[in-house]
Amino acid sequence: MLITLGVLPACSNAPSPPPLVAQVSGTLSLEGLSSPVRIVRDRWGVPHIHAESRDDLFFAQGFVQAQDRLFQMDLWRRSVQGRLSQVLGANFIERDAMTRRVQYRGDLDAEWASYGPDAKAVATAFVRGVNAWVALARERPPEAFALAGWKPELWMPADLLNRTDLFVESRGAIDFSTWRPASAGPEAIDVLADALRRVGAPPFFVSLAADVKTVRLKPDTTNGADSRDAVRGVRLQPDQTRLDHPSRHYLIHLHAPGWNLIGATAPWMPGVAMGHDEHVAWDATSARVAAPAVDVVKVNPDTAHQIDEGGRWIDTVVVKDAVVVKGRTDPFVFESDYTARGVIIATERERHVAYVMRWRGVERGAVSALRALNADRSSLPPLRGVPSGSAGSGFSRTTDTSAVVFAHPLAISAGTRARFNIGPLTMPVPPAPTLRVGAGSTEWDHWTGMNAPGQSESPDSAHFKDLAAEWATGRSIPLPFSERAVESAAEATLILALRRR
């Protein structure tokens, strides 16, 4: 089967095309490749990519991760870039503004160079692959986009340099119940804590642009729900734990000259952040940035854009930005003040003081997923070698409760809860992380993994929730590595072919 991707002439009387779904077998003809790429998906939906060059390899990685997770990727990018107001409304204005204040503002060439000699080339190839699927999704929006009410946008390599996830991780080291920023008055502590919490706060939906038309009403034994639950949608109960859905990770195997590695990455990132190659394994816990700190500085009573530095008034760097807000004609315009110490996150006009946040995550080279590219090549040393044992055992660990639900952000109505939520499921005993990559033995083909609830974000995929059932019983899935093992586990094979103009 040969499918050539293109745009057909519009027909005013033609019905709307069905939502786009991932093609996982046959042949797809795409522009942007130098040689054909073979993608073998195993019985758990894990892609094993075989390419003839670095650029084709990461093009294919971007393409398959977008096939399986484009809505999650799109929502992540809008969230971490401070662009949720554009699609979700005015509730997110302050969140978007604060999120933008913690981003890298330095030289991009120096930033890319800090991740290695070919990090930018890898990111560029990866993004070209993502955009190949985005182009199709803009013509035929997948189901989640139709429900949310917007179309995906094209990506740029610089999108991968975002700092929001790193900030949220480092902020987690702060105990807000006992937090006392240096020299801050008691009345300011709650304001400052709220300001920091706004950065990267999870998006939420209050309404959808469409209704689910194809809700399955028959009993679903995998979900553990009876037919009445399937009709009304499973609601979270007080004694149930909510888990990420889709998973914030993706299992993948990359193979090309100079590259042969398998493991987990974020869906929006190239490479493998935790896993192994032909010689050594590595974890993703090597990069830690200290928690943000807050100082109090004096502000010139005569101008809001000068602070005291050693007895002298020094101008701040004022950056104006605009947040596009859904439902509003004019954007919300705001200012950010940057100083040598950091960014001002709050002021007390009556006291003529400002609170400046210092955070090392704004320095270049802070994105650990890109630094991991240096560990992904067999000829280079890993970030942290773990030749035996397991990698990533601390990720997505759950609490010790009796029931869990994999809750989707679109699951806000009876129909979408029935369509997208997975559960309730019984917690494994003992509680197990939803993501793990571990050694079954010293043989790479005996390594196993888990990435519950599944590789795909589409309820129509067989790999939407298959890993949730395995995880709930405490099992892992095999991670075949050798070509013979991959072929034995193959479920479907897709060839990405060259499209000639």
What string of DSSP letters covers 472-489?
HTT--EE---SHHHHHHT
* CATH architecture, range 22-82+112-158+206-282+387-498: Orthogonal Bundle (1.10)
Under DSSP, the state recorded for 490 is E
Q: Which of 28, 407, 73, 99 is nearest to 265 (CA)?
A: 73
Residue 500 has pLDDT above 90, yes or no: no
Mean per-residue pLDDT, 279-286: 76
Q: Which pLDDT value is given to residue 357? A: 95
pLDDT band at 388 (very low <50, low <70, confident <90, very high): very low
Residue 184 has pLDDT above 90, yes or no: no
Question: Which has more confidence, 227 or 15?
Answer: 15
- The residue behind tokens 């040393």 is 381
Residues 29-82: tens digit of each pLDDT: 999 999 999 999 999 999 999 999 999 999 999 999 999 999 999 999 999 999
Q: Which of 78, 161, 77, 83 is nearest to 321 (CA)?
A: 83
Q: Which pLDDT value is given to residue 371? A: 85
Residues 442-468: tens digit of each pLDDT: 789 999 999 999 999 999 999 999 999
The domain spans of the chain are: 22-82+112-158+206-282+387-498
Q: Which pLDDT value is given to residue 439? A: 81
Percent of the chain with pLDDT over 70: 84
Residue 16 has pLDDT above 80, yes or no: no
Residues 410-443: tens digit of each pLDDT: 999 999 999 999 999 988 878 889 999 988 667 8
Across the chain, mean pLDDT equals 87
Question: Which has more confidence, 470 or 431?
Answer: 470
DSSP code string of 184-236: --HHHHHHHHHHHHHTTPPP--S--SS--S----S-BTTTTB-HHHHHH-PPP
Q: Which pLDDT value is given to residue 341? A: 92
Residues 286-320: tens digit of each pLDDT: 456 889 999 999 999 999 999 999 999 999 999 99
Q: Where are the beta strands (DSSP E) in 367-443?
A: 390-391, 403-406, 422-426, 435-438
Mean per-residue pLDDT, 171-178: 88
Mean per-residue pLDDT, 312-336: 97
